[in-house]
Structure 1
Amino acid sequence: MNVKITTVSKLLPQYSRTTAEIIPFLDAWLTGQDDRFVRKVKKIFEGAAVDKRYSIMSPEEVFSNASFEERNNIYIREGIKLSSQCLREALEKATWQAHDLDYLITVSCTGLMIPSMDAYLINALNLKPDIVRLPVTEMGCAAGISGIIYAKNFLKANPGKRAAVIAYESPTATFQTADFSMANMVSAAIFGDGVACALLSSREEDRGPEIIAEEMYHFYDATRMMGFDLVNTGLQMVLDVAVPERIAQHFPNIIHPFLAKNNLMIADIDHLIFHPGGKKIIQTVEGLFDKLGKNINETKNILKEYGNMSSATVLYVLERFMERPAGSAELGLMLSFGPGFSAQRILLKW
């Protein structure tokens, strides 16, 4: 019995701006700051390898002094709307009915809501009353792959079932206007908002790349490398400048033993489906893979076109590969990094 990813669908919020269009908002926001600091922040935005980013809020709202409550209410309102529509579109794409779903996983780390998103989706789409649901709320950028791993394990134990993983993130809702740390500047420059949905199946008749292996990898003593602090004004970014270096140090142990367990080497992998954490992480990973004759061009393209949308981003990359005509027995390696610090890996076979 095989578990397959049958469909991936994405949806973007209504607001968008190019990096050039964001610069005037920086001037207004950074009024009173040292000129050298302002120039440095602009260079961070211009050099982030992000041409455009989308948001659930207008730029005026993002750079306003809106309270945590106001921002979180927008996160909830827009999240329910976008996630519901993205799930509907994924079901239509797969020609499934809402009642075909047996397992629902919702993924997000950029806002707070109880009940969680999955409860609202059950009502919005009239999903069946005995659907199993799982909210994944605190795994950050890694959670898109984490959600797929959890869905795969459920489907492996329950043949003939179908699952949906919906990743919704709004990093702009966490933006801190009174925080002038480099962590806040870098995160503002690279992050954007988006939602994506992956449908998985253990039914024999459903098609798509098969998940043939999955594994998590945890860095010891690295809990302050990435994440959020909950402060009075909301979720404040924690981002260590050493993240790319630490990834590079662990990279051989993340990749090669995982492939070896499946009697593979990196030369056997046809598609690298990597989460674009940011320009420096991409440069680090690209440098490691260039030596092996591989590229992560789609990862770079997604960062350029949308920015880092946290957990949803790797599904945007996966969609690009799902839309390509697949050859026989092609292999893909999915990889994402997130708070903890951790790496999540999935091996796919077309």
Structure 2
Amino acid sequence: MNHTSSKEAVAILGIGTALPQHSFSQSSVAELITSSLQDKPDLARFARRIFKSCGVETRYTCEPSYLSSKEDCRYIPSGQLSDVPSTQERMNTYKKEAFPLGIQAAAEALSEAGTSLDAITHLITVSCTGQYLPGLDVMLMGHLGLSPRVNRIPLIFQGCAAGLKAIQMARDVVQGMADAQVLIVCVELCTLHFQPVSEREALFAASFFGDGASACVIGPPTADHHDYFNLGYGYSVLIPHSTEDMTWEVGNTGFDLFLSPQIPKLLGTHLESELQSLLNGDPLPELWAIHPGGRGIVDAVQTVMHLSDEQTHYSREILRNVGNLSSVTILFVLKSMLKDQSSHHSDHPSPLTGIAMAFGPGLTAELMRFEYVSSYAAYSAKEQQHVVL
């Protein structure tokens, strides 16, 4: 088997996204939660303030219970807690609902990339909101008709940063194998883990998470490709003194999430030096794909890196329209960016540089350089062989 040089281009060739059929406004879920806090007026006031200020307007859910009356919502009950769904029940719902979303996103990514099924050599599936075996990877392979010899890599329980981690893993795979093409499928059903609210910390998680799926195909670009992202150098780093600031643990009634309000401050303190290390003396890029883990996180990155509102627009748009979809979200941001760039930079002779970043428990930051390419044909053969980001 031939191996490619590390200088040969590796790109995101196609991106697909999918959302559940049920949507709810931020105001309606805020009302649902505050109605469950009638005996805790201080907490209810805090909830109204958090839900109004977090930058979300609409979210999607696989669970129609959130669209019911406050008396009928079992996930955030206003009365007795005895009927709150168990973790087992939530996992049964995950197994039923995750698969069709993953299929929809994967089919769109494959179509956008123009990639045949027999060209896929690796399948990376990503999720931190549900687990079962045989897993989503096996089900996707059977339904899509992938070869049974495809190398399956389930990336589970790593939080919001895992989508970008999967992209970087796929880049490394393609750089090491001349004929490799990787399909990534991320599915997160975050709303299955909403809990009855008893303390302020629980409100942060309830205020901006939603459900969805995303997928992409990663491989070497060819003359047929246009409007794609070349993938450059990147790495994962642990933010010091932050182990307890984001946790995700299995509980009896779903998974229990804790998000410290100190997370934006921690990122603001440590990100600049890491990003300068990533850039290695190069100027700041034009494009910024920031995982919208919350309004405060986008604010922190914008402030510390002196970004314009236009540069953070993609992240804020996704947060506003669908919320934080955990590992799924970074591909939503990149797809929105790609659509916008393709409409403004058709046949642009030079690439536009960018940085993608996502954050998860650890506290982990995934950082990666990339560039937008309007057309493979816009480059000379020499340039195509010397993509070094």
| TM-score class, shorter | over 0.9
1:63 partnered with 2:96: no
Q: 1:127 aligned to 138, 142, 146, which one? A: 146
Structure 1: which amino acid aligns with 2:361? P
Measured at CA, do residues 96 and 293 of structure 1 come closer, stay the same or move farther in structure 2, by a change above 3 Å?
Answer: closer
> Mapping of 1:275-290 within 5 angstroms?
275-290=291-306
Give the Cα separation in 2 of the matches to 1:95 and 1:121: 18
Match of 1:37 in 2: 43
Q: 1:2 aligned to 1, 9, 12, which one? A: 9
CA contact under 8 A between 2:46 and 2:200: conserved in structure 1?
no
> Mapping of 1:149-160 within 5 angstroms?
149-160=168-179
Give the Cα separation in 2 of the matches to 1:92 and 1:202: 16
Match of 2:57 in 1: 51
Match of 1:330 in 2: 352
Q: 2:268 aligned to 248, 273, 278, which one? A: 248
Match of 1:209 in 2: 229
Measured at CA, do residues 97 and 62 of structure 1 come closer, stay the same or move farther in structure 2, by a change above 3 Å?
Answer: farther
Alpha-carbon distance, 1:111 to partner = 1.7
> Mapping of 1:289-328 within 5 angstroms?
289-290=305-306, 295-323=311-339, 324-325=341-342, 326=345, 327=348, 328=350
> Mapping of 1:89-108 within 5 angstroms?
89-108=108-127
Percent identity between the two aligned chains = 26
Any idea what the Cα deviations from partners look like across 1:61-98, whole Å, max 9, x if unmatched? 54352221111111111101110121112212222222
Structure 2: which amino acid aligns with 1:138? F
Measured at CA, do residues 280 and 296 of structure 1 come closer, stay the same or move farther in structure 2, by a change above 3 Å?
Answer: same
Match of 1:181 in 2: 199
Structure 2: which amino acid aligns with 1:12? L
5+ residue gaps, structure 2, are: 1-7, 67-72, 78-83, 374-389
Structure 2: which amino acid aligns with 1:321? M
Q: 2:19 aligned to 12, 19, 22, which one? A: 12
Measured at CA, do residues 337 and 206 of structure 1 come closer, stay the same or move farther in structure 2, by a change above 3 Å?
Answer: farther
CA contact under 8 A between 1:256 and 1:265: conserved in structure 2?
no
Give the Cα separation in 2 of the matches to 1:30 and 1:198: 41
1:190 partnered with 2:208: yes
Alpha-carbon distance, 1:290 to partner = 2.8
1:136 partnered with 2:132: no
Give the Cα separation in 1 of the matches to 2:224 and 2:260: 42
Give the Cα separation in 2 of the matches to 1:198 and 1:61: 35
Alpha-carbon distance, 1:264 to partner = 1.2
Task: Tell me the secondary structure at the aligned position of residue 209 of structure 1.
Answer: strand
5+ residue gaps, structure 1, are: none
CA contact under 8 A between 2:14 and 2:111: conserved in structure 1?
no
CA contact under 8 A between 1:5 and 1:199: conserved in structure 2?
yes
CA contact under 8 A between 2:43 and 2:199: conserved in structure 1?
no
Match of 1:343 in 2: 365
Alpha-carbon distance, 1:34 to partner = 1.8
Measured at CA, do residues 27 and 218 of structure 1 come closer, stay the same or move farther in structure 2, by a change above 3 Å?
Answer: closer
Alpha-carbon distance, 1:99 to partner = 2.2
CA contact under 8 A between 1:106 and 1:118: conserved in structure 2?
yes
Give the Cα separation in 1 of the matches to 2:303 and 2:256: 31
CA contact under 8 A between 1:190 and 1:278: conserved in structure 2?
yes
CA contact under 8 A between 1:3 and 1:202: conserved in structure 2?
yes
CA contact under 8 A between 2:286 and 2:311: conserved in structure 1?
no
Match of 2:217 in 1: 199
Match of 2:378 in 1: none
Give the Cα separation in 2 of the matches to 1:210 and 1:61: 45
Measured at CA, do residues 222 and 316 of structure 1 come closer, stay the same or move farther in structure 2, by a change above 3 Å?
Answer: same
- Aligned alpha-carbon RMSD (Å): 1.8
Give the Cα separation in 2 of the matches to 1:94 and 1:204: 11
Measured at CA, do residues 161 and 61 of structure 1 come closer, stay the same or move farther in structure 2, by a change above 3 Å?
Answer: farther
TM-score (norm 2): 0.84
> Mapping of 1:163-182 within 5 angstroms?
163-177=182-196, 179-182=197-200
Give the Cα separation in 2 of the matches to 1:147 and 1:224: 24
Alpha-carbon distance, 1:204 to partner = 4.0
Q: 2:35 aligned to 8, 28, 53, which one? A: 28
Equivalent pairs, count: 344
Alpha-carbon distance, 1:291 to partner = 6.1
Give the Cα separation in 1 of the matches to 2:296 and 2:34: 25
CA contact under 8 A between 1:4 and 1:206: conserved in structure 2?
no
Task: Tell me the secondary structure at the aligned position of residue 105 of structure 1.
Answer: strand
Q: Which moved more, 1:238-247 or 1:321-330?
A: 321-330
Any idea what the Cα deviations from partners look like across 1:21-69, whole Å, max 9, x if unmatched? 22331243224x3212212112211211100000111103543522211
Alpha-carbon distance, 1:175 to partner = 1.1
Measured at CA, do residues 34 and 181 of structure 1 come closer, stay the same or move farther in structure 2, by a change above 3 Å?
Answer: closer
Any idea what the Cα deviations from partners look like across 1:137-180, whole Å, max 9, x if unmatched? 12211111000011111111111221111111111111112x42
Structure showing greater radius of gyration is 2
Alpha-carbon distance, 1:206 to partner = 5.8
Any idea what the Cα deviations from partners look like across 1:4-28, whole Å, max 9, x if unmatched? 1111111001110111222331243
TM-score (norm 1): 0.93
1:258 partnered with 2:258: no
1:270 partnered with 2:270: no
